[in-house]
A and B are shown apart, each in its own frame.
Chain A
Amino acid sequence: MRLVLILLIIASLNLAAQAIENTTLENENTIQTRVDRIGTTLLNKNKTDKRIVFTYNKQTKKKALSADKSISNRQVVIYDGLYQSIQTDDELAAMLSREISTVLKAYNGIIDSAQVTLGAKKFETVADKRAVDYMVNAGYNPLALIVFINKTCPQKRFDRFSRHNLTSKRLAKIYEYITYKYPQYLENNEYINNQYYQNFLLTSIENRKKLDEKIKTKSTKEIDYE
Chain B
Amino acid sequence: MNKFAGFLLVLSLLILPTANAQNLDYNYQSTYSVPIKLSITENFSTKKPLNEGDILQFKTIEDVYVHNTKILEKGTPVSAKIETLITSGMNGFPDEIILNHFEIPGIKDSQLMDEYIKTGQNRCIWVYPLKWALTPVPPVGSFTNLIKGGHAQIKTDHVITIYYYPEWK
Contact = CB atoms under 8 A, between A and B. Distances in A.
Contacts of B26: 44-45
A11 to B, nearest CB: 41
A129 interface: yes
B52 A220 contact: no
Interface in B96-145: 100, 113, 115, 122, 124-125, 128
A47 interface: yes
Contact of B84 (A45, A111, A130): A130
A180 B128 CA distance: 35
Contacts of B60: none
Contacts of A130: 84
A47 B100 CA distance: 12
B6 interface: no
Interface size class of B (residues with CB under 8 A): 20 to 34
Nearest to B131: A118
A111 B53 contact: no
A180 B53 contact: yes
B49 A118 contact: no
Given A126-B84, A180-B51, A118 B128 contact: yes
B58 interface: no
Contact of B125 (A111, A122, A177, A222): A111
Nearest to A221: B49
A220 B93 contact: no
Interface string B71-112: 000000000000110110101010000001000000000000
A49 B113 contact: yes
Contacts of A118: 91, 124, 128
Given A49-B113, A133-B84, A181 B52 contact: yes
Interface string A211-226: 0000000001010000
B89 A177 contact: no
Interface in A128-181: 129-130, 133, 177, 180-181
A169 to B, nearest CB: 15
Nearest to B128: A118
A49 B86 CA distance: 22
B86 A220 contact: no
Nearest to A176: B52
A96 B90 CA distance: 28
A122 B89 contact: yes
Interface string A115-129: 100110010001001
Contacts of A222: 87
Given A111-B122, A111-B124, A122-B93, A47 B113 contact: yes
Interface string B20-38: 0000101010000000000
A160 B71 CA distance: 54
B83 A133 contact: yes
Contacts of B52: 129, 177, 180-181
B46 to A, nearest CB: 12
Interface string A55-89: 00000000000000000000000000000000000
Nearest to B52: A181
B124 A115 contact: yes
A34 to B, nearest CB: 16
The 10 A-B pairs with the shortest beta carbon distances in the complex, nearest first, are A220-B49, A181-B53, A122-B89, A126-B86, A129-B84, A119-B93, A181-B52, A180-B53, A133-B83, A130-B84
20 contacts: A45-B26, A47-B28, A47-B113, A47-B115, A111-B122, A111-B124, A114-B124, A115-B124, A118-B124, A119-B91, A119-B93, A122-B86, A122-B89, A126-B84, A129-B84, A130-B84, A133-B83, A133-B84, A181-B52, A220-B50
